Structure 1
Amino acid sequence: MTTLRIATANVNGIRASVRRGFGTWLEQRGPDIVALQEVRCGVDDLPVDARPQYRLSYDAGSRAGRNGVAVLARWAPSAVRTGFGSRSFDHEGRYLEVDLDPPDGPPLTVGSLYLPKGGNPDYGPEWAAKQRRKLRFMASFGRYLTRARLDARRAGREFLVLGDFNIAHTRADLANPTANLRQPGFRPDERQWFGRLLGPRTLVDVVRSLHPHDTGPFSWWTWRGQAWGNDTGWRIDYHLASPALAAGAVTGGTDREPSYEDRMSDHSPVVVDYAV
């Protein structure tokens, strides 16, 4: 039996994240697979420190300086797929999926997701439109996720979707649930949709399974005010794994940096070790 270390990180701009220490984190933690979101640059502009000794799969999308999802892996993928069959969203660089064949582990299908943030309809028509767009993305992506999970199972592959879902699923997934009931990311319809993705035979929220009674561990904190220092955060970055893969999770949680000044992004990486 061996261990796969797998991470997801919304880097909020890879070039800025590298300046803040992403390369050092990558070297010290040594994950085998890393899903990245909000990479925000063209392929030719990716810093070398963002991918030492890794094979890069990347969809930058068509919006310069926006979005962008990637997977770094120690092995070359046998297949790479971008998007999820949506003419409305596939050009935005929000979903990338790779097939990986670790030499000492099961075949894997790994997805990197950056789901839209949405907006609070109470703030006016523009924000309401953002939220409607998020819900359309969720509906389309949810249907795709079912197909992708079943396709992976038929092919004898474990399935893992990683990334920034921009949804806190339960009251244990943010510091101030009551104050945020109407905010995007914690609205009832979003949380219900997320819950429908999960089940003992479908997908498992791996970090919650490892921390069933904890509040958090959070993965996002606003840059503003004292949110970081007070740990007033949200858990919106996830590992959702097929049941057999999830059952092998040994340890996992958020790599929260030691201080505000050491932050690589407004998100911190979420890392899980899987015994396979």
Structure 2
Amino acid sequence: MRIATFNLNGIRAAQRRGFEQWLRERRPDVVALQELRAPASAIPPDVFGPYHLAYDAGTLAGRNGVAVLTRRAPAAVRTWTGTALIRAPDETHTDTVELGPVSLARGLREFADQGRYLEVDLADAPITVASLYLPKGGLPAHLQKPGRMREAPDGGARYERKMRFLDAFARQLTRSRRDARAQGRELLLMGDLNIAHTHHDVRNWRRSAQAEGYLPEERQWFDSILSPRTLVDVVRSRHPDTDGPYTWWSWLGQSFTNDVGWRIDYHLATPRLARTAVAAGTDREPAADRRMSDHAPVVVDYDL
């Protein structure tokens, strides 16, 4: 079973840059998508071809939005708001449906309507697949230096918001993993976590030691959700001692051409599922002018 995750940086822009061709040629069975950045009514017709769509657009106009594409209609869909757009390949409706009551971990309600998390139970495999778009965050106040930042100093507000999210999401993730296990399912969490876990995940890791996404506390949080008994970083397990494969490059300068990237998009799987991975990597485009997004798809083949 081929499963992919891809931060599109806008579904309409990605379509113009070749997303549909990638979907046809790679033929994944399941795709987790992040940052569709579109209300349901603005999703281009037929862009997902023969796939069933489960989508949480969130309420932030032009931002976020997570989805899962499947070849068969999912057995169940869950979001943090209890609603989602669920659409078969031949449907065009934009109405959301009620999915039932939602139990959220303490602290997560603040983020529930932002279109950051959606999970589905696959109908053709005992797997719960989740798509996550984790907040980018920022620098803590003591590291913010006016004139040396692309964004205006905010006193650490973005950093504190991300840390609140991490704290709450860790509790929710434990709950989802245990719920999946109770139903006889494996859990596969995919998406843009906006954290590079180790020095193998950032090309210029020494210079990035005080950059958002590579702060010690962010990396420690990442340590806390991984273990041989809970979740495994699937791509890293297949490439244990390599730099990369990177999944994000800035649009600026020659970052992509020189492979000055970050690995911030992941497959995190329960151990039994992780052991079935036979191939894992990044679909990095051959040239900068052929990029579909500032991210690249991360694709793993699981021998179920």
Q: TM-score, normalised by structure 1?
A: 0.96
Letter in 1 for 2:173: L
Match of 1:201 in 2: 229
Alignment of 1:114-129 (within 5 A): 114-121=133-140, 122-123=143-144, 126=154, 128-129=156-157
Within 5 Å, which residues of 2 pair with 1:18-57?
A: 18-57=15-54
Deviations 1:52-108 (A, max 9, x none): 100000000001111000000101111111127222001100001111121xxx311
2:110 is paired with a residue of what secondary structure? coil
Deviations 1:159-188 (A, max 9, x none): 100000000000000101110111110000
Aligned pair partner of 2:129 in 97, 110, 114: 110
Per-residue CA deviations over 1:89-134 (Å, capped at 9, x if unaligned) read 01100001111121xxx31101000000011232265161100000
Letter in 2 for 1:41: A
The residue aligned with 1:94 is 116
2:155 and 2:213 mapped to 1: Cα distance?
A: 13
User: Which SS does the other structure have where 1:222 is aligned?
Assistant: coil
> Structure 1: where are the runs of 5+ without partners?
none
Structure 2 equivalent of residue 16 of structure 1: 13
Greater alpha carbon shift after TM alignment, 122-131 vs 183-192: 122-131
Which aligned segments of 4 or more residues in structure 1 are displaced greater than 6 angstroms?
Answer: none
Q: How many residues align?
A: 270
Aligned letter for 1:200?
P
Q: C-alpha distance in 2, partners of 1:118/1:49?
A: 34
1:142 to 159, 170, 190: 170
CA distance in 1, matches of 2:216, 2:265: 18
Q: Is the 8 A contact 1:229 1:260 kept in 2?
A: yes
Q: 2:240 aligns with which of 212, 219, 224?
A: 212
Contact 1:119 1:127 in 2 (8 A): no
In structure 2, how many angstroms separate the alpha carbons of the residues matched to 1:120 and 1:192? Answer: 16
Per-residue deviation, 1:49: 4.3
In the alignment, what sits opposite 1:242?
Answer: 270
CA contact under 8 A between 1:118 and 1:127: conserved in structure 2? no
Kindly state the Cα deviation for residue 50 of structure 1 after the two structures are TM-superposed: 2.7
| Corresponding position: 1:153 with 2:153 | no
2:9 aligned partner, one-letter code: N
> 1:188 is matched by which residue type in structure 2?
P
For 1:51, the aligned partner's letter is F
Q: Which amino acid aligns with 1:111?
A: A
Q: Which residue of 1 aligns with 2:280?
A: 252
**Corresponding position of 2:70:** 73
Residue of structure 1 in register with 2:83 after alignment:
none
Structure 2 CA distance for aligned equivalents of residues 146 and 75 of structure 1: 27
Closer/same/farther in 2, CA of residues 228 and 49 from structure 1, 3 Å limit: farther
Please say which structure displays the higher CA radius of gyration: 2
**Cα distance between partner residues in 2 of 1:20 and 1:127:** 37
Contact 1:118 1:184 in 2 (8 A): yes
